[in-house]
Each structure stands twice: as structure tokens, then as C-alpha cells.
Structure 1
């Protein structure tokens, strides 16, 4: 049984601006200035917990990690509920796969609350049988835990799953899980990352070059499947 596991942030939806702003706000509350978009992009594809652990050490923040996580999630949920954009070709792909009865999951480094809020706000909730947050598994990406858990909940063999990802850590996690991968780099400059060389289908120009029809054909394993 073919199944598809989507990353959420930067893949299905353009949530990175909201995550950046949420991170900037929570760091500013602890006296950290100078956290810019370029620094934020270093953490794209990394779970929120792992990101804040690194920044806590980098900036010498004394506050407990759980406090930072709660603050960032609070800011992010406020921003996400106000506005989150779905990438149009991704919506087309999700709708077509759903219409054809292909089981789908979302596996993300975001919190469960954030995943649910974004999917509800964008009208995507009804398309996914399974949601897995990095909070629910021992290790976040680039470890394969979230993808393997998604496959387990879907009742699918990992070898029959296709991951759709935007970041090198996610592509590395998909490879470690033994899953095929469609890579759509959120940051096109990362398109030559070693992890993306392991993917079955790469759109090096990112979302501007992504085509639902090509991804659909790859998922089903045959050219012209889109019809």
C-alpha cells in the first residue's frame, strides 16, 4: 500500500515567517537581539525543541527550556491562526491523492497544537488520517522517528511510503526510514545539500518549480499517472 507522509512547515504551508517571528519575540523577551531571518534559516527542518536548545546555549539564556518552548508556541499559535498560506501546488497534490484514496499523514517537528491549528486554519485537516509531532517520539529529524511512527499508525510498510520534505534534515530522516522522498527545498540554496542527493525526486528551484503532477506520478511510480 502506497502512503504519503508530508512535512508541514515549509512543505505544505509557508509557516516559516511565522516561526521566525515567534522565535524573534521569545528571544527578545530574554534580552536577545540580532536574531535575524538568515540565522533562522539555519534551523529550517530542525524541531523546535532542538532549535531552542541550541539558541539557549548560544545566547546563555538561563530560563528553562520548557519555558522557552511554551513562549514560542504561544506566539506561533497566535500568528498561525491569523494567517498561514498553503502552497497552491501542494494543495492540488493533497486533494488528488485524497480523491484517489491514498493514505496520508503529517509528520512534523512542530508541536501537536501547532500542527492542528495550522491544518484547521487552512482547511487541510480532513485530508490526513494521521498526525505525528516530534513531541511524540524520542528523537526529531534528522532521526527517522516521526516518519516511522507515521508509517506505523497508517499501517504502511516504510518501504512503500513517500515523504514530501523541504529541508535537508527531513530528507536525511526519510532516507534513514527507508522511504522514498520528494524534496522541495524551502531555501533553494540548499538544493545541493548531500541529503537531497539521496532523494528520488528533487525540485531544485523549490516551490516555484514544484508541480503536483510530477510528484503524483513519482508517488504512484509511473509516468502519466496524473492523467
Structure 2
């Protein structure tokens, strides 16, 4: 299996760098249950990786919830802010980010989260997140017109690097099929680190599928390899 050499790496955040997806699932399950509805796997996979307005719209439509998007998001954001003040880092995240930074590989984050939510979730990991050149928050960034699976967030993210790399020189690391679709639509290669619920069919658009970031080999994409001291 051969891949194109890249010069820049773009990370998703939720479910890839921090363990937050289980909390999102719990919150949406609870909102659904409040109205006698069930948050099933089909709906979950449609929502995974989407910006907050799309999360609300899909949840309401798929589960026929008697809420407006604004009402849903008010409940959702309040619970997210309460429950996601200190998420743990995903396995391999710290090691990979620090490795790429040490070797001066330009790195950034493209998250569907809103900026205030991102700040709450990363407040206890400021040192790690300070290593990224920039963080694009899809739910609040005015330049991101359409959320994942549209390519917008990745193209905006690439444009914020000082040297404005061609999309083909950017590698995206994602946990959500919607994110992989967006990255591929942007002309970028994508590595998927999915939840076990993600079907084989939804994994297909990814250039590479891994169980964990611990399994990522940077040299496959022309990046500096880990050495024994890492």
C-alpha cells in the first residue's frame, strides 16, 4: 500500500485527540429519552463529526423531536459544558502531536466544535493544544460555510498555514466517516481511527484505517518516523 508524501497534518479533535464522543452520545440519548425517543446507531452515524447546527437538525429530523434547533442546542450545549470540562486524551494522541511538533511538521486542528466549547474541553490540555499552529472551529468560524462532510473546514484550515499548502500535501486524521468524506472532497488523504460501530462500508473512503493513533506510522506518508527515544 503506497501513499502520497505530505508536508502538513490536520487533526480532528473529538474522538480523535480527546475522548468526548461517549459523552456526546450520552447527552443525545438523554435528550431523546426525555421525549420518549431512542437515539439509534443509524442516527448516531449520520451525526458523527457534524457541526452543532447540523447535529441538532439531524437529531430532530431523525427522531422526530418536538424541538427547534435553537431549543435543542440550548439543552445540548449546557450539558456538554457541564460534562466535558476534563476529557482524557485518546491513546497515542500526545505522542504523535509532540513528535510532529518536535520535527517541525506544521500541524493544525479542524474541529466541528464551537470555539467556546473547544476552549472548555481543552482547558486541562493547554500545553498540548498550544503546539498546533491554529485551530479551526467549524460551528463558529464564519469562513466555514458548510460543515463536514463538506470539504470547507479542511480547505479553510489548510489556508491558515503560512505557506498555504496545496490540499494534496495535507494529511487529515479523523475518527468520523463524515470527516473523512470532507477531507477526501478537499483533495486530501485521510486516515480514519473509527469507533467499532462504524461499518466496513463507511470506512472505505479512508486511505488508511487504524485501531488507534498508537498504530500510526508517520513514515508511510513521508513524515519523520518515530525512533526508540520517542
Normalised TM-score (structure 2) = 0.82
1:184 aligns with 2:188: no
1:51 corresponds to: 55
Contact preservation (8 Å) 1:158, 1:179? yes
C-alpha spacing 1:189/1:169, structure 2 compared with 1 (3 Å) = closer
Is residue 2:152 matched to residue 1:145? yes
Q: 2:3: which partner in 1?
A: none
Residue of structure 1 in register with 2:94 after alignment: 91
- Deviation of 1:32 (Å): 3.8
Q: Which runs of 5+ in 2 are unaligned?
A: 1-5
Deviations 1:48-88 (A, max 9, x none): 3222212212344343312211221121121110x312113
The answer (yes or no) to whether the contact 1:11–1:186 under 8 Å persists in 2 is no
Distance, in Å, in 2 between the alignment partners of 1:22 and 1:52 is 12
Is 2:136 the counterpart of 1:132?
yes
Secondary structure, aligned partner of 2:226? coil
Specify which of 6, 11, 17 is matched with residue 12 of structure 1.
17
Establish whether residue 168 from structure 1 lines up as the match of residue 170 from structure 2: no
| Cα-to-partner distance string for 1:176-224 (whole Å, 9 max, x where unaligned) | 111111111123642x225x33433221xx22x7424x1x2234x16x7
| 3-state SS in 1 of match to 2:158 | helix
Shift, 1:175, TM fit: 0.7
| TM-score for the superposition, normalised by structure 1 | 0.83
Number of matched pairs: 216
Give the alignment's Cα RMSD to 1 decimal: 2.4
2:114 matched to 1:114? no
Partner secondary structure for residue 164 of structure 1: strand
Question: Using the alignment, how far apart are the partners of 1:202 and 1:60 within structure 2?
Answer: 34
| Mapped partners of 1:32, 1:218: distance in 2 | 48
The runs of 5 or more residues in structure 1 that have no matched partner are none
Partner Cα separation in structure 2 for residue 73 and residue 65 of structure 1:
12
CA apart distance, 1:157: 2.2
**Cα–Cα, structure 1 residues 62 and 175, in superposed 2: closer, same or farther, change >3 Å?**
same
